[in-house]
């Protein structure tokens, strides 16, 4: 018997006694109703990934797509099928790095990129127009998160936080294991991290819900920030199902983040979200309320969307909106300033593929709504319902060009304009 599962059961049975379940002005006091689909095994189990799948879905052919862990040579990457707006150009910038995902750039130009399944962090150097890469560290459990501050590289895996001090000057520096200071909760599902230092100097780390749909234990479904040494933890955003991308507005300094909607409801949603945090501790709805106000049928309560901050915009059904950056460079046309480029890894829990692109999101001047349009497309073919690439993160370079990491073929593209 899993002790944590039992604790969770007690909380479900006596909701009023569980302080973590009191959401501000969101139907406080009302015990939520958990459907059998969201938790079929009470009292012996805990909510899980398959839960929320109704019996009607039991024979669905949909399942997460297989990643590729072997090297893809450049001549097997169908670069010519990629499309960008007029005046833009896309090229392969670096390749041969299976599973490459979240990227960060050091002051001297070194780029580090995390992965999930293959357990590596790559280090990429730009040597006179040609890129070389090495594996900085391997054997980690999904080290997706990389961040840098004051020359210190942070590598964040599901169960580990490593810090490499002064790594650009000393490439062979051994990491300091600072895991204990961050008090990472144990569950693995949705626990891969996207990490970044904010303008406040703090390290922001999301902690996804350990399920598709469930009433999560109190340490999950949130975005936290820490001092660089792991002290001073604060929960910045709550009710966040699984955020794998965020950035800070270049002028307001507010945190904007993407969040993945739940699976197994239907093909059309709930859509992924782009959210904006205006106050610390703000509540974004999970598990009660999704997208633009869709109450959850499996974890339900009256007035499910009361007190929930609605998204700035939705980003497509099951499209997996992940890494995102505000564009602050001067290479792209002026109207791209303060636009957000969002990598959408692409759907699996949907009959017709959706996403598999980078979109440009242009927020309104008050930051309450946004326009979404294609930016980098061609990773999938709608007529055959097949894909070959999966963009997961974007990174702006000092010259204003943008790098896009493609996890499926282990390559990084460079998107530039003019010249």
Partner 1 sequence: MVGSSTWRGLLLAALSFPAAAADRIALCESCHGPGGNSTTANVPSIAGQPVTFLENQLIFFREGLRNAPVMVPLMKGVEDAEVTSLARHFNGQAPRPVKAASPDPAAVARGREIAGKRHCGQCHLPNYRGRDQIPALAGQRGDYLLDTMRSYRDGKRTGADTTMSEVLDGLSDDEIRALGAYLVSLP
With binding defined as CB under 8 A, does residue 189 bind partner 1?
A: yes
The candidate with the shortest Cα–Cα distance to 182, out of 120, 119, 224, is 224
Count of residues near partner 1 by CB under 8 A:
42
The contacts of residue 268 (CB under 8 Å, 6+ apart) are 317
Task: Find the binder of partner 1 among 27, 67, 151, 329 (CB under 8 A).
Answer: 67
Which CB, 275 or 349, lies closer to partner 1?
349
CA 190 – CA 210 distance, rounded (Å)? 6
Give yes or no for a contact between 415 and 405, defined as CB atoms under 8 angstroms apart: no
Please tell me whether residue 40 binds partner 1 under the rule CB under 8 A.
Answer: yes
Say whether residue 56 binds partner 1 (CB under 8 A).
no
> Is 301 one of the binding residues for partner 1 (CB under 8 A)?
no
Q: Is 41 in the site for partner 1 (CB under 8 A)?
A: yes
Rg, the chain, Cα only: 21
Beta-bridge mates of residue 126: 131
> H helices within 45-129, ranges in order?
none
Taking CB under 8 A as the criterion, the residue among 32, 206, 210, 287 binding partner 1 is 210
Q: Which listed residue (18, 34, 46, 161) binds partner 1 by CB under 8 A? A: 46
Query: Could you tell me which stretch among 101-109, 137-145, 277-285, 390-398 binds partner 1 (CB under 8 A)?
Result: 137-145
Asked whether position 49 contacts partner 1 by CB under 8 A, the answer is yes
Q: Would you say 66 or 127 has its CB closer to partner 1?
A: 66
Best CA proximity match to 192, nearest among 114, 112, 130: 114
Q: Which stretch binds partner 1 (CB under 8 A): 63-71, 199-207, 237-245, 411-419?
A: 63-71
Query: Two tokens at 230?
Result: 């792991």
Stretch that binds partner 1, among 41-49, 265-273, 292-300, 411-419 (CB under 8 A): 41-49
Q: How far is the CB of 120 from partner 1 (least distance, A)?
A: 7
Rounded CA separation 67/69 (Å):
7
What is the smallest separation between the CB atom of 216 and partner 1, expressed in angstroms?
Answer: 12
Question: Can you tell me which of 58, 127, 180, 334 binds partner 1, judged by CB under 8 A?
Answer: 58
Instruction: Please tell me whether residue 119 binds partner 1 under the rule CB under 8 A.
Output: yes
Report the alpha-carbon distance of residue 374 to residue 85 in Å, rounded: 8
Instruction: Read off the tokens for 48.
Output: 């899980």
| Residue number with CB closer to partner 1 (192 or 356) | 192
Q: Of 192, 203, 206, 193, give the one whose Cα is nearest residue 240.
A: 206
Among 163, 187, 344, 414, binds partner 1 (CB under 8 A): 187
Q: Residues with Cβ < 8 Å from 266, sequence gap 6 or more?
A: none
Q: Whole-angstrom Cα distance, residue 192 to residue 390?
A: 17
Kindly report the backbone phi and psi dihedral angles of residue 224, in degrees, each rounded to the nearest multiple of 5, phi listed first. -115, 165
For partner 1, the closer CB: 29 or 61 = 61
Specify which residues 148 forms β-bridges with: 153
Work out whether 118 is an interface residue with partner 1 (CB under 8 A): yes
- What three-state secondary structure class fits 375? strand
Question: For residues 141-160, which are near partner 1 according to CB under 8 A?
Answer: 141-142, 158
CA atoms within 13 A of residue 233's CA, in its CB half-sphere: 14
Is the Cβ of residue 57 or residue 105 nearer to partner 1 in the bound state?
57
| Interaction site with partner 1 (CB under 8 A) | 1-2, 5, 40-41, 44-46, 48-50, 53, 57-60, 63-67, 69-71, 117-120, 138-139, 141-142, 158, 186-192, 210-211
């Amino acid at each position: 018997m899993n002790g944590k599962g039992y604790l969770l059961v007690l909380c479900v049975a006596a909701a009023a006694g569980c302080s973590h379940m009191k959401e501000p002005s969101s139907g406080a006091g009302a015990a939520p109703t958990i459907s059998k689909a969201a938790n079929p095994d009470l009292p012996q189990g805990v909510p899980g990934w398959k839960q929320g799948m109704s019996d009607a879905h039991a024979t669905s052919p949909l399942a997460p797509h297989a990643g590729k862990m072997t090297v893809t040579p450049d001549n097997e990457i169908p670069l010519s099928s990629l499309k960008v707006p007029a005046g833009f150009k896309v090229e392969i910038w670096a390749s041969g790095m299976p599973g490459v995902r979240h990227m960060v750039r050091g002051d001297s130009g070194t780029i580090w990129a995390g992965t999930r399944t293959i357990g590596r962090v790559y280090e990429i150097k730009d040597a006179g127009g040609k890129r070389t890469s090495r594996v900085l560290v391997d054997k980690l459990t999904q080290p997706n998160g990389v961040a840098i501050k004051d020359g210190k590289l942070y590598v964040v895996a599901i169960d580990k936080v490593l810090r490499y001090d002064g790594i650009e000057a000393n490439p062979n520096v051994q990491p300091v294991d600072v895991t204990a200071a961050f008090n990472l909760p144990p569950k693995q599902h949705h626990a891969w991290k996207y990490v970044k230092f904010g303008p406040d100097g703090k390290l922001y780390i999301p902690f996804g819900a350990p399920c598709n749909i469930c009433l999560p234990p109190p340490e999950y479904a949130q975005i936290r920030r820490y001092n660089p040494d792991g002290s001073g933890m604060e929960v910045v955003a709550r009710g966040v199902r699984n955020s794998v991308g965020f950035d800070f507005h270049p002028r307001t300094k507010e945190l904007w983040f993407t969040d993945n909607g739940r699976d197994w409801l239907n093909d059309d949603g709930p859509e992924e979200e782009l959210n904006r945090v205006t106050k610390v501790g703000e509540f974004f709805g999970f598990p009660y309320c999704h997208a633009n106000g869709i109450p959850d049928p499996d974890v339900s309560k009256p007035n499910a969307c009361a007190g929930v901050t609605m998204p700035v915009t939705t980003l497509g059904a099951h499209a997996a909106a992940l890494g995102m950056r505000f564009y602050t460079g001067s290479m792209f046309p002026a109207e791209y300033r303060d636009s957000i480029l969002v990598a959408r890894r692409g759907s699996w829990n949907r009959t017709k593929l959706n996403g598999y692109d980078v979109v440009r999101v242009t927020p309104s001047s008050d930051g309450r709504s946004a326009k979404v349009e294609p930016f980098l497309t061609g990773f999938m073919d709608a007529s055959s319902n097949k894909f070959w690439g999966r963009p997961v993160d974007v990174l702006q370079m000092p010259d204003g060009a943008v790098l896009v990491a493609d996890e499926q073929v282990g390559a990084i593209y460079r998107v530039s304009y003019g010249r």
